[in-house]
Amino acid sequence: MKLNELDTPSLLLQQDRMTRNIARMQAQLARKGVALRPHVKTGKSIDVVRRMLDAGASAITVSTLKEADYFAAHGVKDILYAVGIVPAKVAHVAELQRRGVRMTVILDSVEAARGLAQAAQQQGVCIPALIEIDCDNHRAGILPDDALLLDIAAVLHDAASTELHGVMTHSGASYDKPGEAAIRAVAQREREAVLQASQRLKAAGYPCPVVSVGSTPTALFGEDFSGITEVRAGVYVFFDLVMAGLGVCAVDDIALSVLTSVIGHQPRKQQILVDAGWMAMSRDHGTASHAVDQGYGLVCDLQGKPIGDLIIAEANQEHGVIMSRSGAALDLAAYPVGMRLRILPNHACATAAQHAQYQVVEGASEQVTATWQRFNGW
Amino acid sequence: MKLNELDTPSLLLQQDRMTRNIARMQAQLARKGVALRPHVKTGKSIDVVRRMLDAGASAITVSTLKEADYFAAHGVKDILYAVGIVPAKVAHVAELQRRGVRMTVILDSVEAARGLAQAAQQQGVCIPALIEIDCDNHRAGILPDDALLLDIAAVLHDAASTELHGVMTHSGASYDKPGEAAIRAVAQREREAVLQASQRLKAAGYPCPVVSVGSTPTALFGEDFSGITEVRAGVYVFFDLVMAGLGVCAVDDIALSVLTSVIGHQPRKQQILVDAGWMAMSRDHGTASHAVDQGYGLVCDLQGKPIGDLIIAEANQEHGVIMSRSGAALDLAAYPVGMRLRILPNHACATAAQHAQYQVVEGASEQVTATWQRFNGW
C-alpha cells in the first residue's frame, strides 16, 4: 500500500530514522559502559521494542502493568514498573513474577514500603523494590539526604516479602532548558543524587545493587555515568519536536508523523484545514514554552520534509488548522482538497497513544512496508 | 465489582447523571420544536448512544467514518459525517450507503463539491451534502453572504451524483464566553447565519430541506430555533468542567470521572501523587482560560463529591499531581497510599478517548453495575 491509499489520519513510523535513533542511544551508553533499560511506554509495540532489545538492551521499564503483561507475553523477563506501587497492584505483580518475570517496583515512603511488604506476604512472594529519589524537585521521590531513606530501606530489607534492590531517579528537569550544557548539568545532578543515596544506604550496611537514572536528554548528553548501573530512556526511539526544541535531536531524526488530508481552506485567515485534530495529534503542546512554538505539530510533505514554517496552529477534535508560524500569506492553491501531508508531533508518547497501529515507511519512499500493532489503556 | 476492586486508572460513567443530561437536552429541544441529531463522538459506544436515541433522537452526527461504520452496524440509518469530505473518503461513504444508511456529508468549497461529485459518480451513487457556513469566524465554512454559496450549490445541484441537501454550521464561539446571556447571543448569530444562507439558496431556486446548527451551549440556551430543522450536540451527554465553567451545567451534572489511586506524597510541596496522568485524563486543559482553572481535573471522593479545591495541578504520562488550587496546606495523612479518588475531566470527549471502556455506576453507590465498551481511532 502507498501513503496515498491509507485512510487519514494514520500514524506513520519511518523505520530508518528509528533504527538510527536506537543505534545512537546504544552507542552512547556503550561508550559510557552503562546498561540501557529502555522505557517502552513510548512505543507500546513488540515490533518497536524488539528492535530496542536486539540493539543490546535486555531489560525494560514500563509505566503500566498492562505493558508488563504484554511484554512478558512476548518473552521479556526483566521489567521495572516505574510508577509508585500501591498494595492493590501487588497481586498483579506477583502473578507476573509467577510467570517467570523478574518484576521490580518503586516507592518513596515508609507507608508504601509497608503496604508492599504486607501485600507481597499475602501473595507469598518476595518483590524487589527501588527507592525513588527526587533529584530535581520535579515529581516523586525523597531527597537524597532525607532521613526517610534509611527508614524505607529498613522496611524493605527487614521484610521477608520485599528485597531492597537499590535506588532510582528521573530528571524531569532535563526537559526544562535547551542545549547540551544545560542538560549536562542536569545529568550531573541526576547522577549525584542517586549516588549520594546509594552511598548512604551502603554506609548503613544495606545492599544497593541497582543505581538507576533516566531521561532521553540526560542519557544522550550525560558525561559521567560511573557508579550508575542502568539508564532508562524511552522517547529517543522516535524523538519529537520537544526533543528537537531542546537540541537533543534534529527535526529530521523524528521517526513519527501523522498522515493527514487537506479538507478545506479559509482564505480570509490564510488557513488550511486538515483531518488531523487533537484526536490524531493529542492535545500536547509541549513546545509552547520553547523558542520555536510548533503549535500542535510541524507540517511536512509526503516525503517527511518540513514545508516552510507551516504548523498545526489550532486543533479541534478531528480538525487541524494549518497556518504559517510567522503569519505569512500562503499559496492555498498549492494545497488542494484531498492533498496529503505529514505532521511531526510535539510529543511522541502522546501522539502515538492516540493510535492503534504504526504504518511503517522507509526514507522518502511512499510505500508502506509493514503495519505494526500497538496498544493503549491499562 | 466495587470501585475499590477496579484497576486504576479506570473511566467511570455515572448513569443517573447521564440519564438526566439526556433528558434535559431532549426536553429543551422538544419545547423548541426542533429535532436533535446527537453527535456521538463524545460517547463512541452504542450503550451510550442507544440511550440518546431512545430518548427521542433518530439520527446521529459522526466525526469519523469509523463511527459511521460502527453505528451503522448497530442499526443507525441516518448519519451526518460532519468533517469536510475529501474524494478519497467517498468510496467508504458509498459503501455505507449501499448498506442502507442515509449518509450525508459536508463541504465548503467548489473544489470539494466537484471532488465529491466526481468520486460519487465513479462509485455510481448519489450523495447528499450540506454546505458548511461559518457563523463566528471559528473554523470551517463560508460566510453566509459569500458569493461562493451559490457556486457550490450549483455544483451540488447540477451533478447527478450529488444532492444539495441544505446548510449547517457549528458555533465554536459558544465555548468562548461564560453565561447564559453570552451564549444566547452566540446562538442567535448561529441561527441567523444558516437562515441567511438558506434564504439565499431558496431565493436562487435551490432546495434547502436541512438547516442544521449545533453545539451543546447554544442548544441548551438558544431561545429561537424557528427555521432550524435540526440541532447537533454531543458533550451534553456527559458534560465536563469546561461546560460547568461556562455555566452550561453544574459540576454535579458531570457524568464522567477517572478512578485513580494515591501513589505517594510530596510533603514539602503539599502534593498528593496519583496514577491518573495525562494518559488517563488527556492533555486537555480547557479550563486554563476560565475564571476557575481546574488544572487537569477536579478531585472528588469515591461518591463523586468534590474535595475542597483539590485539582490535578500537573500531569505526566502516568502521574497526576494533586494540589489545592488556592495553594492551601493539605492534610496529607487523610490521603493514604492506595486510597481511591475520582477525577472530573475538563473535556469529556478528550478524556473518554483515552479509555476503552466505561465502568458504569449509579448515584453515590460504589458498585459497578455494567461495563460498556467504547472505541477510538479511525
Q: Which pLDDT tens digit goes with each residue over B207-230?
A: 999 999 999 999 999 999 999 999
Residue B307: DSSP 8-state: E
What span, in angstroms and rounded, lies between the C-alpha atoms of A210 and A213?
Answer: 10
Residue range B251-277: mean pLDDT, rounded: 98
Please answer yes or no on whether A63 and B318 come within 8 Å at the CB atom: yes
The model's pLDDT over A37-79, given as tens digits with 9 standing for 90+, comes to 999 999 999 999 999 999 998 899 999 999 999 999 999 999 9
The model's pLDDT over B277-299, given as tens digits with 9 standing for 90+, comes to 999 999 999 999 999 999 999 99
Please answer yes or no on whether B63 and A317 come within 8 Å at the CB atom: yes
The minimal CB distance from A377 to the residues B108, B285, B355 is found for B355
Question: With 90 as the cut, is the pLDDT of residue A352 above it?
Answer: yes
Q: What is the pLDDT of residue A39?
A: 98
Question: With 90 as the cut, is the pLDDT of residue B196 above it?
Answer: yes
Please give the residue of chain B at the shortest CA–CA distance from A377: B355
Distance in angstroms between the alpha carbons of the first and the last residue of chain A: 32
Model confidence at A222, pLDDT cuts 50, 70, 90, reads very high
Q: Which of A263, A312, A335, A359 to mutate to test the interface with B (most CBs of B within 10 A)?
A: A263
Residue B261 with chain A: CB contacts under 8 Å: 86, 88-89
The interface predicted TM-score of the complex, written ipTM, equals 0.97
Residue range B261-271: mean pLDDT, rounded: 97
What span, in angstroms and rounded, lies between the C-alpha atoms of A8 and B88?
Answer: 9
Closest CA to B130 of B189, B201, B67: B201
Q: Which of B11, B110, B263 to mutate to test the interface with A (most CBs of A within 10 A)?
A: B263
Please give the residue of chain A at the shortest CA–CA distance from B315: A139
pTM here is: 0.98
Question: With 90 as the cut, is the pLDDT of residue B134 above it?
Answer: yes
Residue A80: exposed, middle, or buried by beta-carbon count in 10 A (0-12, 13-18, 19+)?
buried
What span, in angstroms and rounded, lies between the C-alpha atoms of B321 and B125?
Answer: 54
Beta bridge partners of B62: B81
Backbone phi, psi, residue A115, to 5°: -60, -40
Cell of A166: 537499590
Q: What is the pLDDT of residue A304?
A: 95
Number of CB pairs < 8 Å for A and B?
159
Question: With 90 as the cut, is the pLDDT of residue B58 above it?
Answer: no
Please answer yes or no on whether B269 and A137 come within 8 Å at the CB atom: yes
Percent residues over pLDDT 70 in chain B: 100
Model confidence at A132, pLDDT cuts 50, 70, 90, reads very high
Q: Which of A240, A318, A321, A371 to mutate to test the interface with B (most CBs of B within 10 A)?
A: A318
Q: Whole-number mean pLDDT of chain A? A: 97
Percent residues over pLDDT 90 in chain B: 98
Please answer yes or no on whether B283 and A285 come within 8 Å at the CB atom: yes
C-alpha distances in Å from residue B62, one per residue of A57, B45, B127: 44, 12, 16
Tell me the shortest Cα–Cα distance from A250 to chain B, in angstroms: 24
- Which DSSP string corresponds to A209-275? -EEEEE-HHHHHH----TT--EEE--GGGT--HHHHHTTSS-GGG--EEEEEEEEEEEGGGTEEEES
Residue B173: DSSP 8-state: G
Model confidence at A158, pLDDT cuts 50, 70, 90, reads very high
Q: What is the pLDDT of residue A307?
A: 98
Residue B9 with chain A: CB contacts under 8 Å: 378
Please answer yes or no on whether A378 and B9 come within 8 Å at the CB atom: yes
What span, in angstroms and rounded, lies between the C-alpha atoms of B321 and A238?
Answer: 27
Q: Which residues, 6+ apart, have CB-to-CB distance to A24 below 8 Å?
A: A220, A236
Model confidence at B57, pLDDT cuts 50, 70, 90, reads confident
Q: What is the pLDDT of residue B136?
A: 95
Please answer yes or no on whether B84 and A112 come within 8 Å at the CB atom: no
Q: What is the pLDDT of residue A57?
A: 85
Question: With 90 as the cut, is the pLDDT of residue B267 above it?
Answer: yes
What span, in angstroms and rounded, lies between the C-alpha atoms of A370 and B174?
Answer: 43
Residue range A152-175: mean pLDDT, rounded: 96
Assign B235 to helix, strand or coil: helix
